[in-house]
């Protein structure tokens, strides 16, 4: 991973195409130009966050204008852009159509590649897993650029440049990774390894409109007016956390990458650009500040219900069954047209809350977590 930890932060008030084009250009210039990362003849994968096919106003997916701007930038540098992701639900093309990325790819004549097939990537140095199964598209490109969204995340606290790469795992195989890394610290370790394996040459974060609260899908859009760019995804995430008003100890990916020396602390990052002083206080997800990371693993397993937030199905559940289909340990089922959770089998991954189209999963904190949060404020 690159030792270049400069991060550019530029302001953008809205998604008008000219403005986003200028601002992305400005951010790249602050990093020395795209030529630092991409060479003529390269085939470059642009990996946006395409969690679900929702309108860009919902702030669930990377805005199509950010994708458009990067397609143009890559092409101007003499390389070939391709755009791809594996959404949380539904296929790549359908999702891209709904969130506007399909139209942008068509208008810019850029290839949109669905992530459908996986290949094994051995990773003997892995902290948690020694091999990954990732999209075969990675084997057909020279460079990867992460186009993330500035959002909260029920399980990891926030999703940015590093977490965005989880979309390189194809479709329902994501559930297997949740099953194999059930504790927050293990899942975070897996994400850090994944970023080290995929090695994005550049990470851009679309924070013009971010998401606060119960992200990454069911939170609230928040105008944050910033675009971040940097060669080191961990450093970009440290800056993003600071701008969202979160403490690193609440964010297992950011705190682990700092602990491992993969990024300097915020104060030591070379932060450039007119938006470097931007600060917000994003509302955190209800699951934030899980105590699981702070106690021994054997205790965390036994006392999980009190150390974490518990998912509860609300009366507005419409029985669509999406959560049942995506629950990694199959701890959910439908009864009388309503989702039910077997709490004993629930691993607190919050995929159900993340993917529910009716926002019908509420997260209720255990009493120990509530008590601790009083003192953690």
List interacting residues with ligand SF4 (CB under 6 A): 311, 313, 317-323, 327-329, 331-332, 339, 341, 346-352, 356, 358, 360-361
Q: How far is the CB of 175 from ligand SF4 (least distance, A)?
A: 9
Distance, CA of 89 to CA of 51 (rounded, Å): 7
Nearer Cβ to ligand SF4, position 229 or 352? Answer: 352
Please say which residue, 240 or 341, places its beta carbon nearer to ligand SF4: 341
Q: How far is the CB of 238 from ligand SF4 (least distance, A)?
A: 27
Q: Residue 288 corresponds to which tokens in the numbers above?
A: 């934030």
| For helices 252-259 and 233-244, angle between their N-to-C axes, nearest 10 degrees | 130
CB of 342 to ligand SF4, least distance (A): 8
Judged by CB, which is closer to ligand SF4: 42, or 52? 52
User: Nearer to ligand SF4 by C-beta: 129 or 358?
Assistant: 358
- The distance of closest approach from Cβ of residue 225 to ligand SF4 in the complex, given in angstroms and rounded to an integer, is 32
244 Cβ neighbours under 8 A, 6+ residues apart = 150, 152, 158, 210, 212, 224, 280, 281, 282
| Nearest to ligand SF4 of 147, 331 (CB atom) | 331
Report the candidate in 283, 215, 271 with the shortest Cα–Cα distance to residue 51. 215
Q: How far is CA 111 from CA 71, 81, 105, 118, 238, in A?
A: 10, 7, 7, 19, 32
As given in the structure block, the two tokens for residue 43 are: 């085939």
Least CB distance from residue 52 to ligand SF4, whole Å?
12
Q: Quick one: 98 or 174, whose CB is closer to ligand SF4? A: 174
Q: Give the whole-angstrom CA distance, residue 14 versus residue 29.
A: 20
Closer CB to ligand SF4, 171 or 233, in the complex: 171
State in angstroms the smallest separation of the CB of 315 from ligand SF4.
10
Rounded to the nearest whole angstrom, what is the least distance from the CB of residue 181 to ligand SF4 in the complex? 13
| CA distance to 119, 229, 241, 377, per residue, from 205 (Å) | 27, 6, 12, 28
Burial (CB < 10 A; 0-12, 13-18, 19+), residue 121, is middle
- For the chain, how many residues are written? 377
- Rounded to a whole number of angstroms, the distance between the first and last alpha carbons of the chain is 34
Query: Cβ of residue 222: shortest distance to ligand SF4, in angstroms?
Result: 23
- For strands 7-11 and 271-272, give the pairing: parallel
- In the bound state with ligand SF4, the residue whose beta carbon lies nearer, of 99 and 332, is 332
Q: From the CB of 20, what's the least distance to ligand SF4, in Å?
A: 33
- 167 or 233: CB nearest ligand SF4: 167
């Amino acid at each position: 991973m690159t030792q270049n930890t400069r991060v550019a932060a530029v302001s953008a008030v809205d998604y008008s195409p000219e403005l986003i084009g200028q601002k992305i250009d400005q951010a790249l210039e602050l990093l020395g130009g795209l030529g630092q990362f991409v060479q003529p003849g390269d085939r470059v994968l642009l990996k946006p966050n395409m969690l679900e096919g929702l309108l860009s106003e919902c702030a669930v997916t990377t805005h199509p204008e950010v994708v458009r701007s990067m397609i143009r930038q890559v092409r101007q540098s003499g390389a070939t852009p391709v755009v791809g992701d594996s959404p949380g639900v539904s296929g790549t093309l359908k999702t891209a159509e709904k969130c506007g990325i399909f139209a942008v790819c068509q208008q810019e004549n850029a290839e949109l590649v669905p992530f459908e097939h996986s290949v094994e990537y051995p990773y003997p140095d892995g902290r948690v897993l020694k091999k990954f199964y990732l999209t075969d598209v990675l084997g057909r490109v020279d460079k990867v650029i992460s186009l993330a969204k500035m959002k909260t995340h029920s399980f990891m606290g926030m999703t940015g440049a590093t977490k965005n790469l989880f979309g390189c795992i194809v479709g329902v195989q994501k559930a297997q990774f949740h099953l194999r890394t059930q504790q927050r610290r293990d899942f975070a370790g897996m994400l850090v390894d994944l970023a080290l394996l995929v090695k994005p040459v550049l990470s851009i974060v679309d924070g013009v409109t971010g998401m606060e609260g119960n992200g990454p899908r069911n939170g609230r859009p928040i105008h944050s007016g910033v675009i971040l760019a940097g060669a080191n995804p961990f450093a970009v995430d440290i800056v993003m956390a600071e701008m969202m008003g979160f403490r690193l100890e609440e964010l297992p990916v950011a705190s682990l990458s700092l602990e491992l020396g993969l990024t300097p602390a915020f104060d030591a990052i070379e932060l450039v650009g007119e938006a470097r002083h931007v600060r917000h206080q994003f509302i955190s997800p209800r699951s934030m500040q899980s105590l699981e990371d702070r106690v021994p693993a054997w205790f965390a397993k036994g006392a999980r219900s009190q150390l974490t937030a518990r998912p509860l199905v609300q009366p507005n559940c419409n029985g669509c069954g999406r959560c049942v289909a995506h629950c990694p340990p199959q701890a959910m089922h439908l009864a009388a047209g309503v989702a039910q959770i077997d709490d004993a089998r629930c691993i607190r991954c919050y995929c159900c809350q993340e993917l529910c189209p009716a926002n019908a999963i509420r997260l209720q904190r255990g009493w120990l977590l509530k008590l601790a949060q009083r003192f953690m404020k």
